[in-house]
Chain A
Amino acid sequence: QMQLQESGPGLVKPSETLSLTCTVSGGSISNFHWGWIRQSPGKGLEWIGFISYTGNSNYNPSLKSRVTISLDTPNNQFSLTLKSVTAVDTAVYYCARVFGRDSSGYYADYWVRGTLVTVSS
């Protein structure tokens, strides 16, 4: 049974960089796509982006200039960095396994309990 475990700080100061890591166990990171989705308090879901096992990435255009998703294959991890955060970036951040293909689209077939990241000084 594949499991995902998020790690990272729950508090980030404005203008700094948010960094979260998702560790995959029970399976190889090399066989799937991996993504991040966030949810502001009391709000709906917002896609951040995903990275393919090939290393190709796809980001939400509204966040693209500030976001990087990367793979650490030897450690079976993938990471999210979001630069220059403000209070509007306060949200629960979820890492997820992404399934699909370009021809039919993608969806998140397995999510892990997310991390509340608060942006505050």
Chain B
Amino acid sequence: SFELTQPLSVTVALGQTATITCGGNNIGGKNVHWYQQRPGQAPVLVIYRDTNRPSGIPERFSGSNSGNTATLTITGAQAGDEADYYCQVWDSGMVFGGGSKLTVL
């Protein structure tokens, strides 16, 4: 089965740019989706099909996908962006990465 690898934790200074990676074998050939999960809340879709933002998601969230790595970028990270972030692909079923905890200092 397809495996997705994410860093356990990512730290960013307030107002700086955070990048969260999602590795997988030729993941660039798949559509990657990203979810934000704040503590005690349900996940929220923040990026779908590599680069698209759902309605209501701030422009500071962006995504890219190429080769063996997909990336979620948060430009100008805010305190409210502290959360767990999960990448996901479809491989005969939904496959999730292990999640990355974003800390904003």
Contact = CB atoms under 8 A, between A and B. Distances in A.
Chain A contact-residue range equals: 20 to 34
Contacts of A99: 48
Contacts of A16: none
B16 to A, nearest CB: 26
A5 B80 CA distance: 25
A61 B93 CA distance: 9
Interface string B91-104: 11111111100000
Interface of A is mostly: strand
A106 B49 CA distance: 9
B90 A44 contact: no
B90 A94 contact: no
B88 interface: yes
Contact of A104 (B31, B45, B91, B93): B31
A60 B98 contact: no
Contact of B90 (A107, A110, A111): A107
A-B pairs with lowest CB-CB distance, top 8: A105-B90, A47-B94, A107-B33, A111-B42, A45-B96, A44-B99, A113-B42, A44-B98
